[in-house]
Structure 1
Amino acid sequence: MANHKSALKRIRRNEAVRLRNRYQHKTVRNAIKKLRSEEDKKTALTLLPTVVGMIDKLAKRNIIHDNKASNLKSKLMKRVAAM
């Protein structure tokens, strides 16, 4: 167990950040699933910018890797364009 006050604070902080990152990542995954399951092109086109923005925000905060974000965005845009 940690002996220093700062180490205890770091443990609390890490847990809070981990839970926040987990929540944001799961929210984006659900949005991606919703976009992928969309059948109507018009609604997919309106959903796409918000999902892309969410993915960019995850990449900016280092929750996911930049390349993963690029791959996700590329696949989603291809899927919507092919509708």
Structure 2
Amino acid sequence: MANHKSALKRIRQNEVRRLRNKYNHKTARTALKSLRTEENKAVAVEQLPRVISLLDKLAKRNIIHKNKAANLKSKLTKHVNSLA
């Protein structure tokens, strides 16, 4: 167990950040899933910018790699464009 005040504070900070990152990552994955399963093009076109924004925020905060975010955005854009 940590003995210093600063170490105890660091443990608390890390836990808060871990939970925040977990929440943001899970929110983005849920948004991805809902966009992938969307059949209506109008709704998908409306959702796409919001999902891309979530991915960009995750990449900016180093929760996911920037290349993974780029790959996901590319695949989602292709999917939305292919809807009839």
Structures share fold, TM-score greater than 0.5: yes
Whether 2:13 is the aligned partner of 1:13: answer yes
Whether 2:57 is the aligned partner of 1:60: answer no
Q: CA deviation at 1:71?
A: 0.7
Map 1:62-81; keep pairs closer than 5 Å.
62-81=62-81
Number of residue pairs matched by the alignment:
83
Could you list the structure 1 runs, at least 4 aligned residues long, displaced by more than 2 angstroms after superposition: none
Whether 2:33 is the aligned partner of 1:23: answer no
Q: CA deviation at 1:67?
A: 0.6
Q: CA deviation at 1:59?
A: 0.5
Q: Deviations over 1:17-76 (max 9, x none)?
A: 000000000000000000001000010000000000010011011111101100110110
| Structure 1 gaps, min length 5 | none
For the aligned residue pairs, the C-alpha RMSD in angstroms reads 0.5
| Structure 2 gaps, min length 5 | none
What amino acid is aligned across from residue 80 of structure 2 in structure 1? V
What amino acid is aligned across from residue 22 of structure 2 in structure 1? R
| Identical counterparts, % of pairs | 66
Question: Which TM-score applies when normalising by structure 2?
Answer: 0.97
